[in-house]
Structure 1
Amino acid sequence: MTITHHPGEETLAAFAAGTLDEPRSVVVAAHVALCPRCRATVAAFEQFGGSLVERAAPAPSRVGALDEALARLDEATPPAPVLRDAAPDCPDVLAPYEVGRWRWIGPGVHWRKVEVPESEGTRVFMLKAAPGSSLPHHGHSGVEWTCVLQGAFRHDLGRYGPGDFDEADSTVDHTPSVEEGDVCICLVAMQGNLELRGWLGKLLQPFVRL
């Protein structure tokens, strides 16, 4: 598997530091799990961050802070695990989350919700598209991050196969088309909405609420 498209170093640094919001972190985690290059980059950022912590001067702790922290740990109840049947179209990074059923949203295209807490209007879902199918020509009202899990699609900015990371924003208008062969399955974090173009898009827009 050759991965061509990756998140930027700033994104990987934020992911390693834990400062990236949860919806986008899930999509980046899916990419990192498939990409040895980005795993190494994240590990380097984590090692660098750890060395900075080791060099930092210790700050005096407040009297009673340790007892309060231990008390909070005793009170905490771990969340119940989400139980679901294992499926090849559900990556391991989604294990902590509830995943909905596939729903039809257009010819050859299905969608399923992933119950990741939203952050600033960014939500997570999966898309599944049949070989040879196309999404209508569309733009975005916000930022959309996509990790390809299976199959491949193409649009004006290139080809995206398994493991590839695609980032689109309000400046991008495209018409992704799925290659022949495998069903294309993607994990997506999207802020805002798809904005369908053309007469067909205007007809479908009321039905597309991803």
Structure 2
Amino acid sequence: MMLAGHLDDPLEDALLARAGRARDAEVEAHLGACSDCARRLADAEAAVAAVALALPPVPAEGRLRARLFASVDRLERFTPMAPRLAALTDVAPDDARRALHALSEPEAMNAVLPGMRVLPLATGPRRATTSAILVCLEPGGSIPRHRHLGDERILVFEGAFAVDDGRVVRAGEELHSPAGSIHAIPTVVGDAPCLCAIVGEGGIEVAL
């Protein structure tokens, strides 16, 4: 039912509702039909905004500020390596940056082997036949001996793993495995998980 006349107290309620409280459907209907009240509400919203902008900023409470920055740091800690992942997968650097946010919660990734979790990555048109995954390899986890059917690169973001030929691949480094090469990753180095991306063509097959 439409309200008669113009809004007085309901105008204040409408202003508060648009700032986050539940809206009154009858008041909103009146505002849609009454240009005078709609103009008065717009003027009131502008005045409230002007007051808010004129007030001195209030620093965030210490613990809240620390939590906010810790959350951002956790999400963005691999951002400097996003261009390298973007180049491997042929996606935009910002898309690679957002994909790396998944590494802030590796426990949410899909378990595929004991101690190994993965998450598929998107690839661009120049990598249409490429398989790409993010990987969390826990201490004690391993990748069995296998043969590469195509070219593969593993880019390490955090931690390190050992290859069965004695090489250790650490954060910021890549392991390049050309087609036909055979190896295993028998162990994660240290007590922390190894977080990496595996980008390859052609897949692998188990090698004895």
The two structures have a TM-score, normalised by structure 1, of: 0.48
Relative to its length, the structure with more helix (as a share) is 2
Which structure's relative contact order is higher, taking Cα pairs within 8 Å and 6+ residues apart?
1
The two structures have a TM-score, normalised by structure 2, of: 0.48
